[in-house]
Amino acid sequence: MDKQGISIDEYLRKLRALRTLPFVSAGLVTANVVIYLLCQLPGDVLYERGCLSAYDIIVNEEYGRIFWSMFLHADTSHLFSNMIILLFMGAMIEKETGHLSFAGIYLASGLGGNLLSLAGKIARNDWAVSLGASGAIFGLDGLLLALVLFSRRRMENITIGRVLLMIAMSLYSGFTGGNVDNLAHIGGLLAGFVLGVLLSIYLRISRR
């Protein structure tokens, strides 16, 4: 019992409860919203310097665009649709993976999606720019699929069939929609799945 009358067991329970809060998911949503609001200020400086542009990356060697473009959004609906998914699905997955693993896989998936998108732009000689967190969010789909398949941890109302259906519908929506960077989606999905498999193996070994 400490000076304030809180037992050690109660303190540890509160600490464990604190660790399950989705700090990273909430922080990423906040960062995306703040950056979007900054983008609405006069001038397009953040868009001009941050969008995924094959020309600027290859010719001007502005490699930071591969990272920064995942925090930019074209309009309010683009931002809202991505952030809703990130907030709710991210909170669920972050509880299973831990904060650092979740943050690392989210960012790595975004980079993976942008790298595949960039490769496609170069192969097609496409100089159009792209932006958005969709690649990183598809990485969460891949991560969730890996957790369901390989971690052997039960998640309420989450089944392999439901996850596969969600992924299929998301991909279908992208391929049938206009002005969508589907390669970024696929790259993020694959990156998230591969990293999720590795994380699942690590979690199974650590539990032993």
Residues annotated as catalytic are 134, 185
Kindly report the number of other CB atoms within 10 A of residue 104's CB atom.
Answer: 15
Distance between CA atoms of residues 201 and 163, nearest Å: 20
Q: What is the DSSP string of 80-114?
A: HHHHHHHHHHHHHHHHHH-HHHHHHHHHHHHHHHH
Residue 34 to residues 45, 58, 163, 199: CA-CA distances in angstroms?
15, 29, 30, 31
Q: Distance between CA 106 and CA 51 in Å, rounded?
A: 19
Contact 121, 172 (CB under 8 A): no
CA 171 – CA 167 distance, rounded (Å)? 6
User: Under DSSP, is residue 197 helix (H, G, I), strand (E, B) or coil?
Assistant: helix
